[in-house]
Every structure is written in structure tokens, then in C-alpha cells.
Amino acid sequence: MTNEGTREGVEPLTGAALTRARVLDAAARLIGTVGLVRATTKQIAREAGCSEAALYKHFRDKEEIFVRVLRERAPRLAAAVAELPERAGQGTVREHLEAVVVVAVPFYRQSFPMAGGLLASPELLAAHRRKLDKAGPHHVSSHLADYLRAEQQLGRVAADVDPDAAAMLLIGACFHRAFLEVFYAGEGPAEAFRPAALDEFAHATVRALLGAIQAPEA
């Protein structure tokens, strides 16, 4: 219980904050391994090395633990994409879009087990939605569309393209890919969904988006 930064060294987390962090880590780990429905208060407490009652010294209820995990432990996808418009004109469009894919797929993969629990329970979903003022899931594609619009004005993206539709295509592909990775975790047509294939996926997907699919004469 006495804690100098002996073990972590970098982070001088004191008792209370340390326990809080351990609870969030435990919850995140359990959600990823055994799923949201088996991530019970008893399991979280055991994994965090404290009692069930201790959870309620730091969080109002179980739902708040999950909300905090989603907000404090998830990669900041929306924020990363929101910075893209500023980079318009630098590097290549292809590089930026591939970077989005490489960030977005793991983010969605990690978020799916938790989001799944929300989709299965409209009341949880409504509660969570209210807390996501400007970080809602639709902002990812809309920020990406903003970036494409900026590149359009710079002439690096064709003028007759609908930025919203193009952004939806790319983000949707990442979203679907992440779903398939979770769905076939460990089994199924795994060779296509192994993490090492992410770079290939990013390359092929961005290439398809950038290219024309319609034959010249058709």
C-alpha cells in the first residue's frame, strides 16, 4: 500500500489514483478478453487486486467504470483525424489516408466489444451518447471529409468528388475490417485478418479509393 515510484518509476501514482487506474486497466483488459457481459464487478475487483466495495469508492456505479474506460483508455481516433485538415498540402494524400486506416482499424477493433454492449442495450446507449458531445462516431468521417475538402481546394483531390461519400467509404472499410477481425478472432478465415496484414489492407484500400473503378468507355 505504501507506494513510492519504485515499480512504475515514471508515474508517481499515489494510493487513490493508483487504485483507480488499476480498476480502469482491469476493466479494459477484461472487456477485451472475456467480453463486456463477463466483466462483472467481482472480476474487475479481483483483476485490480482490491475488493468489490473499493470500486464504489472511486466510481458511482459499474456503468461509470465502462464510460471512463471508453473515454480515458481508448486511442483518440477522432482527435487524430481532426488534426488532418491542418496537414493538407503536406506529404501525399495517400500517406495521410493510409495513416488514418492504420490508426482507425485498431481503434475500432478495441472499441467493438464495448460498443457491442451498448448496441444490445438502448438505455446504456442513450446514456453514453449524451456524454459524447463532440466525440460522436460520425465525427470521424466528417473530419476526414473536411480534410478531403481541403485537399480538393489545393487541387490534390479531383473537384467532382463528394468528400463526405469518399470519407464514408474509407472509414466504413476500416470499421467493417475491425468488425471482421473481432468476429473471426482466433478462428475462421484468419489469414486475411492477421494484424500483420494491416499495412497491406491500408495500401490496397487507399489505392482502390484513389483510383477509378469505372472503365473509361462504360
Partner DNA sequence: CGATGGTGAGTGAGTGTTCACCCACCTGTC
Partner DNA sequence: GACAGGTGGGTGAACACTCACTCACCATCG
**Residue numbers 13-72 binding DNA by CB under 7 A:** 15-16, 18-19, 38-42, 49-54, 56-58, 61-63
User: Could you tell me the smallest distance in angstroms from the CB atom of residue 153 to its own copies?
Assistant: 11
Nearer residue to its own copies within complex by CB, 26 or 166 = 166
Q: Which of 13, 102, 125, 197 binds its own copies (CB under 8 A)?
A: 125
Q: Check the CA dihedral 139-145-150-151 and report its sign.
A: positive
Query: Count of residues binding its own copies (CB under 8 A)?
Result: 72
In the list its own copies, DNA, none, the entry touching 40 (Cβ below 5 to 8 angstroms by class) is DNA
Q: Look up residue 38 and give its three cell numbers.
A: 463477463
Q: Look up residue 34 and give its three cell numbers.
A: 472475456
Burial 178-208 (b: 16+ CB within 10 A, else e): beebbeeeeeeeeeebeeeebeebbeebbee
Nearer residue to its own copies within complex by CB, 53 or 212 = 212
Q: Contacts with its own copies in 8-47 (CB under 8 A)? A: 33-38
Contact assessment for residue 93 and residue 151, using Cβ atoms and an 8 Å cutoff: yes
∠ at Cα 154 (148, 157), nearest 5°? 45
Task: List interacting residues with DNA (CB under 7 A).
Answer: 1-2, 15-16, 18-19, 38-42, 49-54, 56-58, 61-63
